[in-house]
């Protein structure tokens, strides 16, 4: 460039003050460019490490306070997933995977979609091997930064007028994201294994997958099953002490390398749970937590999945005291007030879990002031990514219409700037 006297001057990036370089780098994507830039030199490595640490701290502070920014991400692609609910989701590396789910006409899916978070592009995966059958309410667990493990689920009769019975599954499928191949390993053909179920919850702990609960027709389960993902064997540990009631639709999260947190769920018509439990997988004992400030508890915990981020659980649901009650059978309460062109807004609910280990208690915080102008959904998927939370799909209902609508919206939730 030229100065005031017309003399050409050169400004090198390496000559910029560190504060300016750090500010420029703070705009890089955490899914690619930021990590790649770490490899340039020691100075950049140090600056980017500081940026990453600050982002993590800002995100955790925003989560604890509920001071979050909601944004619908527009991704135009012919390979975008169809609108759906009761699907499953996980993240491996810089890719988010969506499997299965159900349409508003009760059509179940068995497609597997990948969202490249680095490029912001959907892709329907073309794979080899035999995929799972169409199903909803299955669990998806990421394992070894490579495999997607899918267990259970069900397929309800489609709304076609043809009489058919709901079908439940106890099968296990694994998708290798490197080779993009499906496999269905033979697990405990002659040994113990969990029965067919849907609406259960699962999480990975080390080289094991821990499964709790679920439902099959009128049955509600409260058993715990463990899949050894190295030897591919099921086991049912002997649980000591009091146990949670049988349920489905609950959320299950990992606290540490041997502790699982479970919240909410449904035991049947008019039997919605708001209890919170932890499972010690070293001693195999449940501990029910004291839940404080339940007047601020998130409504409808059975159909609004929760996420855990550093001593805090977040639930994205409908606002309380709206006269809106969605039962497991799908009925709506009276006295609804339309909003957002007929939709209720999405509300953040914050559960403080910092006293779990010291006092075996947790506490709901007063809901933050309404910040979100997006419609609330239920039976969506929610995952924690790099400094943000991602919600996909789900079901919402207009007051003026009797049938539910499904969504394929992608919503990111991050710290306010």
Give the model confidence (pLDDT) of 27-51 as tens digits: 888 898 888 888 888 888 999 999 9
- The average pLDDT across 192-221 equals 97
Domains of the chain, each with CATH number or no CATH: 13-53 (1.20.1280), 66-319+340-415 (2.120.10.80)
Q: Residue 331 pLDDT more than 50?
A: no
Q: pLDDT of 75-129, one tens digit each? A: 877 889 999 999 999 999 999 999 999 998 889 999 999 999 999 999 988 899 9
pLDDT score for 158: 64
**Cβ-Cβ contacts under 8 Å for 124 (sequence gap 6 or more):** 79, 81, 111, 112, 113, 114
pLDDT band, very low/low/confident/very high, at 330 (cuts 50, 70, 90): very low
Which helix (H) or strand (E) segment is 42 a member of? helix 42-65
Beta bridge partners, 313, equal 308, 351
Is it the case that residue 326 has pLDDT exceeding 60? no
* DSSP count for the chain of H helices, then E strands: 4, 31
What number is the average pLDDT over the span 159-185? 86
Give 243-258 pLDDT, tens digit per residue.
Answer: 999 999 999 999 999 9
Out of 170-174, 262-266, 267-271, pick the least confident. Answer: 267-271
pLDDT at 19: 86
What pLDDT is stored for residue 322 in this prediction?
54
Provide the pLDDT for residue 227.
Answer: 97
What is the per-residue DSSP string for 47-71?
Answer: HHHHHHHHHHHHHHHHHHHT-EEEE
Query: Can you give the pLDDT at residue 337?
Result: 43
pLDDT, residue 399, reads: 55
Dist CA 355 CA 290 (whole Å): 10
pLDDT confidence bin for 335, thresholds 50/70/90: very low
pLDDT value of residue 226: 98
Residue 375: strand pairing partners: 345
The Cα angle at residue 32 between residues 31 and 38, in degrees rounded to 5: 115
Percent helix / strand / coil, the chain, rounded to 5: 10, 35, 50
Whether the predicted pLDDT of 417 surpasses 50? yes
Q: Do the Cβ atoms of 315 and 330 come closer than 8 Å?
A: no
Q: Which pTM was predicted? A: 0.90
pLDDT digits (tens, 9 = 90+) for 289-300: 999 999 999 999
Angle of the 18-25 helix axis to the 42-65 helix axis, nearest 10: 60
- Alpha-carbon distance of 333 to 21, in angstroms, equals 55
Q: Is the pLDDT of residue 3 over 80?
A: no
At residue 344 the predicted structure's pLDDT band, cuts being 50, 70 and 90, is: confident
pLDDT, average across residues 270-287:
96
Side-by-side strand order, sheet with 405-415:
68-73, 405-415, 389-396, 381-384
Buried b (16+ CB within 10 A) or exposed e, 162-187: eeeeebbbeebbbbbbeeeebeeeeb
- Higher-confidence residue of 279 and 20: namely 279
For residue 336, pLDDT over 50 is answered with no
What would the pLDDT profile of 373-416 be if each residue is shown by its tens digit? 789 999 999 999 999 999 999 998 665 555 678 999 999 999 98
- Would strands 290-292 and 361-364 be described as parallel, antiparallel, or unpaired? parallel
């Amino acid at each position: 460039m030229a100065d005031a006297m017309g003399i050409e001057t050169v400004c090198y990036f390496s000559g910029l003050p560190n504060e300016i370089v750090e500010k420029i780098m703070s705009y890089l994507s955490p899914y690619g460019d930021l990590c790649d830039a770490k490899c340039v030199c020691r100075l950049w490595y140090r600056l980017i490490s500081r940026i990453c640490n600050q982002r993590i701290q800002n995100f955790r502070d925003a989560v604890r306070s509920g001071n979050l920014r909601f944004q619908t991400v527009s991704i135009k692609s012919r390979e975008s997933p169809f609108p759906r609910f009761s699907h499953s989701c996980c993240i491996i590396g810089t890719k988010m995977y969506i499997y299965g789910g159900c349409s508003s006409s009760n059509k179940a899916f068995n497609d597997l979609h990948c969202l490249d978070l680095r490029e912001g592009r959907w892709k329907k995966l073309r794979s080899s091997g035999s995929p799972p059958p169409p199903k909803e309410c299955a669990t998806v667990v990421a394992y070894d930064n490579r495999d997607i493990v899918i267990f259970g689920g069900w397929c309800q009769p489609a709304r076609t007028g043809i009489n058919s019975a709901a079908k439940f599954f106890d099968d296990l499928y694994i998708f290798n994201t490197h080779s993009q191949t499906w496999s269905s390993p033979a697990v405990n053909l002659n040994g113990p294994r969990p029965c067919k179920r849907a609406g259960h919850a699962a999480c990975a702990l080390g080289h094991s997958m821990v499964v709790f609960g679920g439902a099959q027709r009128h049955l509600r389960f409260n058993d715990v099953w463990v899949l050894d993902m190295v030897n591919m064997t099921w086991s049912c540990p002997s649980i000591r002490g009091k146990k949670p009631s049988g349920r489905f639709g609950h959320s299950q999260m990992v606290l540490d390398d041997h502790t699982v947190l479970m919240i909410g769920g449904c035991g049947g018509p008019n039997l919605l749970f708001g209890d919170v439990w932890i499972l010690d997988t070293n001693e195999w004992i449940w501990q029910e937590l004291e839940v404080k400030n339940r007047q601020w508890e998130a409504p409808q915990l059975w159909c609004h999945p929760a996420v855990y981020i550093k001593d805090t659980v977040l639930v994205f649901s409908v606002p309380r005291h709206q006269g809106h009650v969605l039962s497991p059978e799908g009925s709506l309460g009276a006295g609804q007030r339309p909003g957002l062109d007929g939709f209720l807004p999405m509300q953040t609910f914050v559960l403080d879990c910092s006293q779990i280990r010291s006092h075996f208690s947790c506490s709901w915080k007063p809901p933050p002031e309404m910040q979100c102008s997006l419609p609330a959904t239920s039976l969506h998927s929610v995952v924690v990514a790099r400094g943000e939370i991602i919600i996909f799909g789900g079901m919402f209902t207009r007051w003026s219409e009797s049938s539910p609508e499904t969504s394929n919206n992608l919503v990111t939730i991050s710290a306010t700037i």
